[in-house]
Each structure stands twice: as C-alpha cells, then as structure tokens.
Chain A
Amino acid sequence: MRLKQTFSSGELTSLYYKHKWISRETMGRWLLVGAVLLWFSLLVLFPLWGIVEETVKKGVTIFISNINTPSSLHAFWLTLVITLFAVVLNTILGTILAVVFARQTFKGKLFMESLIDLPFAVSPVVAGLMFIILFGPNGWIGSWFNAMNIKIIYALPGMMIATLFVTLPFVVREILPVLREFGREQEEAAATLGASRWNTFWRVTLPSIKWGLAYGITLTIARSIGEFGAVLVVSGSIINKTQTATLRIHDQFTDFNYTGAFSAALVLAILSFIILNFIQYLYQKKEVI
C-alpha cells in the first residue's frame, strides 16, 4: 500500500512532465477550444464553405455570368443606393439624436430614448407592415402622397424608409455611451476658450466619438446590405425594379436557380466578411483610444 503523498504544485508539474501525462488543465483547454471550433464550424464555417463550394463547383465563368445579368446587377445597384442613403442619413440623424439625448434635458427624454431600440425589438416583417399601413395608397400619409402621384410603397422611397427604420439604433447606440462617458468638461473648456458650438463639435466632440461613430456606421452598412424582411414587405420584390440583392437571392432560390442564388450569396458573403474585418479593426482602435 502506498502512502498518500502530497506535492507542491511545482513538483506536480514536473511529475506530469516527466511521465508525459497530460495535465487536467491542458486537457480542459483542448476540450474547450475543440468544442468552440466545432460549434463555430457548424454554424459559420460549413455554411460559408457550402456557398463557396456550390458556386465554385460550377466554375468561375458560370459564377460571373450569373452575376453579370441585368437583373442581378440592378439588384446590387439598388442595394448600394439604399445602403448609401441609409448610412448618410442615419449618420447625421443618429449623431444629432445622440448629442441631444446626451446633452439636453427635456420632458419625455427617457421615453424617447427607450423608443430608439424599437427597431431592434420589432420583427422586420412587422415593421414593413407598419409602413404599408402608414404609406400604402390608402394609408394616412400614403394617400396624401398618392394624390400627388408619388409612390412610396412598392417603390424606392418605401424601401429607403424601411431600411432607415431598421438601422436607426446603430449609430445612436454606439455613440451615446461614448458621449456620456466623455462628459461635458472638454466642451465646456472649449466654450471658455471662445469656441463656437459648431467649432466645439467639429474640433472637440467629433474627434472623441469618431471610433464609436465609425463602428455604428459599419454596422449600419452591414445591416442595410443584409436587410430582408422589412424591404420584402414594402418593395413587393419586383424584378428589375424593387429587387435588392437579398431579395434577388431569395427569388432565384425559390425558382430553383440555385447557382444564381449561391453566386449572389457569395458576393454578399464576401462583402460581409470585409465589413466584419473592418469592424474588428475599428473595435481594436476604439479600445486603444
């Protein structure tokens, strides 16, 4: 019978090393990393690979010819236009909203601030239906535009409004906490030095929130490109007219044109990959500064 022995941790480590055992710690780490890799592969890598493989199997020429059709190009063009619109407007409006929320006090501010997150909480399809009720030919606002012969639903304006709505929270939510943490002191210092509000914003406030803003903008771009539900409802997905890239993919898929669908999907996946890497880069910057 062996006597129970006690070792110090250093002795234990050297024992493990000597007998080439794998310590519980190392094993635990391998298990953890393995589980994460498996999960990540199942959820992200395999589907991504699926898209790439499906497209490549048919050859690059078929991939290009599938993208290079008037309908596909129009769809990508439409996505680009809507994304640009949403980004520009939401950057400006989102910044103004965040500055007002962070620096002003007024009645109902808390209520309004909680409403900012509404687009996150509401399903995009429901949001789309909301806009149909509001802007449809018989809606409150839509009937008014209809009388002036301006079409909103099943047309570009409606798609822009829907995209604006679903991407509204990104810029606000990214820069609001930065503005709050940054505080008023530097702005007050600028004021005592004689700087105008405009000057103070450009020279003091904006440089302090720029990384947060860039992050918010990137998320807005990603969401605008990827938006499906809300845009589907308000656009009607009319080919060559109101069909964005995601709608086009869906359309081709339901038409059993898998190659076409996967080709377009690959383009979007590559775009997302680039954007995500950019986000990662910004995130690191933000933490440094």
Chain B
Amino acid sequence: MSGIRVEQVSKNFKDFTAVDDVGFEVKEGELAALLGPSGSGKSTILRIIAGLEKPDRGQIYLTGQDVTTQSARKRNIGFVFQHYALFKHMTAEKNIAFGLEVKKKSKKEIKKKVAELIDLVKLNGYNHHYPTQLSGGQRQRVALARALAPEPRVLLLDEPFGSLDAKVRKNLAQWIRDLHKRIHVTGIFVTHDQDEAMEIADKIILINRGRVEQIGTPQEIYESPHSKFVASFVGNVNVIDSFIEQDSIFINGAAGSIPYHASEGDEESGNAVLLVRPEEVSISRQNCKKGSIEGVITGLYYRGSYYEIHLDVGDNRIKSIVNKDEYLRLQWQEGERVYAYFKYYKVFDASGGFHKVHAMLKQYGYIE
C-alpha cells in the first residue's frame, strides 16, 4: 500500500520554477530521503506534501486519499521543522500535548500519551523545561514527539539535523533510524547531506533543480548512478577528463588506455568524462593489469580510519582511498611513479565539453 504518492507536481514562485513535474511514491512504513543540493526544491516538495504550500499542478495522495485541495490542518501529518518551531511560551510537555489538546482529547488520554512520548524521546525530567532551557538535540526531540503525538499518518522532517553539531547529528540520525524501525510510520526527510541519507533512508529520491534525478535504494544510487549529477552528488568522486577513440579510453595527457566496449547508442569517439569513486582506484608499482594508467603520487594524507593518496594522472588529479594495513605494507612515497587501475567507473558523454561539465560541478560545490 502506498503511504505517500506525489504525481506530476509543479510549483513556480513568480518566474522561478522551484518544483518541476515531480512524481514519486513512498510505501507505507518506508522512510525516504529527499536528497539534493540547497535550492533544489526539496523543501518545497515537502511543504507541498504537508499542505503548507499549494502546488500549481499535480496531485498529492496520503494513504491512498487525494489530499491536494485539503489544508494542512486537515491532513493529519506530523511535520518537524528545520529550526524546530517549538512554541516558545510552552513547556516541553505543553508543546507535545498541543496537537492532542486542539483535537479535544480527554485530559487523561493526553496525560498518558504525553508521558509515553516523553519516554520514547528520552526526555524524562525535562517535562517542565521551556525550549530555551533545552539543548539543540533535546529541542529536536521535543519537536519530534510533538509531531508524533496526534498519531499522524505520515511524518515529514525538514532538514531534521541541519542545525545540530556533527556529533549530536550522528547520534540523533542513528536514533531516528532505530525509532523508525520501532514505530514504523511512513516518513520523508529532507537533507542535503548524502551520508545522512545513506545512513537513515530506505529509499533516496534525488532532487536537482526541482526535478527528480533518480529514485532508488542507497545502494542503487551509489553504485549505479543514472547521471553525472547523481554520481558526483552522492559520495566522493573523481571527475576525469578523457576521450574515447574506437575501443579505448585515453586520459588526457597520460600514458596508457582503458579498454572501452561501447554499447549500442553510445558515442563511438569524442570527449568523455570518467567518474571514479576514490575507493575504486587501486594503485600498484607494477603495470600488471591491462587498463592501468601511469601516474605520480603528489600527496599522502592521513584520514583517521584510512589514507588518502593523491595522484597526478596526465592532466588530472585523482584521489584514491587505501586502507591502513595496505598503506603501511606498501610504504608509498611522494613523487613515486605508480600505475592506477579503475576497478569500477562510469563513462559519460561530455559533448558539452569537459570544462563545461567541470565548471558546473564546481559551481554546485560537488568538486573542489
């Protein structure tokens, strides 16, 4: 059964198209992430689902019911705002009770439910604290409990961890993941942080410039991105300037080539962009594998749980990730001549010119 269905939704603000023909479905009990760079329209989509924003076109269905013309008050949704939007003049307990009080539940019922929720979000002892007396993480949990109190049919979270510091964020993200496993409410959360999306979501809906770029499980999105945008936005990626000639890929300015098997419809030759994740780049001292490319080590960096090696391969600088054991065994040196092999990569046609693609990625901050 479908929890949330969005059909051909569009929304313009004056002459700016914020949401452009967006459609997707979130199954009941699923937790989905709307992932995209800032300004991509993901928050607007969430607000349209909540009824806080009216779409120009399209339909919204919640648990199978068309709610497009319904106001936010009638939709029975739980919404957690980025900056919490707690009622400042009410205690934590009063905040949580609000949704039950306006629904005219009995005092006894409200008391029981609030106690349950306080327990669920682990805020015991903070019942009578005002929002200003709580930390960021605690406020976020009050906001969550408040949204859950009226037993909403869907839970919508707008950048739920956006204003928390890294450590609290990590803990809270994991906690939400566990909480979702327990209460199993259909949910969508908006984020611009791909790690967060990967970590928490059952399904990722990637949004760029108001359009859906790709929908899939975190694994699908990471391992088989449909576009340059998806690949570069989700995870770290090397963007490598290259060209194709017949059955080989050449990296600009580097010796060696990678065999290329053009499938039907692909470009036979011309400029191309190779996208390779750092963990898919292996380095060796011998040219032992077919398709290895010569390069020079320009930097070795300690990154805590792994090492990062930077290579100059022709005109490109490539990052490679090496685990600690291997790094210590092989004792790489700066300036050393090595062979890089791409275990897995994606080729994208760069007919628009590599520099154009590069400039675009840079502009959006996906590469340095």
Residues of A at the B interface (CB closer than 8 Å) are: 185-186, 188-196, 199, 203-204, 207-208, 289
Chain B contact-residue range equals 20 to 34
Residues of B at the A interface (CB closer than 8 Å) are: 50-52, 71-79, 81, 83, 85-89, 98-99, 102-103, 146-147, 149-150
Sample of 16 further A-B pairs with CB below 8 A, known A186-B88, A193-B149, A196-B73: A185-B81, A185-B83, A188-B79, A189-B86, A189-B146, A191-B71, A192-B75, A192-B78, A193-B99, A194-B73, A194-B102, A195-B73, A199-B102, A203-B98, A203-B102, A208-B88
Name B47's closest neighbour in chain A (CB-CB). Answer: A188
For the complex, give the distance between the alpha carbons of A113 and B51 in Å: 29
For the complex, give the distance between the alpha carbons of A39 and B80 in Å: 55
Inter-subunit contact A193/B98 (CB<8 Å) = yes
Q: DSSP majority for the A interface?
A: helix
Inter-subunit contact A189/B87 (CB<8 Å) = yes
Residues in A neighbouring B52, C-beta threshold 8 A? 188, 191-192
B162 to chain A, nearest CB (A): 14
A199 to chain B, nearest CB (A): 5
Q: DSSP majority for the B interface?
A: loop
**CB within 8 Å: A-B pair count:** 66
A188 and B102 in contact, given A193-B150, A194-B76 (Cβ under 8 angstroms): no
16 examples of A-B residue contacts, CB within 8 angstroms: A186-B85, A186-B86, A188-B52, A189-B81, A189-B85, A191-B52, A192-B50, A192-B77, A192-B79, A193-B150, A196-B73, A199-B102, A203-B87, A204-B87, A207-B87, A207-B89
Most chain A beta-carbon contacts within 10 A, residue among B83, B89, B146: B89
Q: Which of A188, A195, A207 contacts B81 (CB 8 A)?
A: A188
For the complex, give the distance between the alpha carbons of A279 and B131 in Å: 27
Name A193's closest neighbour in chain B (CB-CB). Answer: B99
Most chain B beta-carbon contacts within 10 A, residue among A185, A186, A194: A194
B309 to chain A, nearest CB (A): 46
Name B81's closest neighbour in chain A (CB-CB). Answer: A185
For the complex, give the distance between the alpha carbons of A125 and B296 in Å: 87
B310 to chain A, nearest CB (A): 44
Inter-subunit contact B72/A191 (CB<8 Å) = yes
Q: Which of A193, A207, A208 contacts B102 (CB 8 A)?
A: A193
A198 to chain B, nearest CB (A): 10
Q: Which of A185, A186, A188, A199 contacts B72 (CB 8 A)?
A: A188
Residues in A neighbouring B74, C-beta threshold 8 A? 194
Most chain B beta-carbon contacts within 10 A, residue among A192, A194, A204: A192
Inter-subunit contact B87/A186 (CB<8 Å) = yes
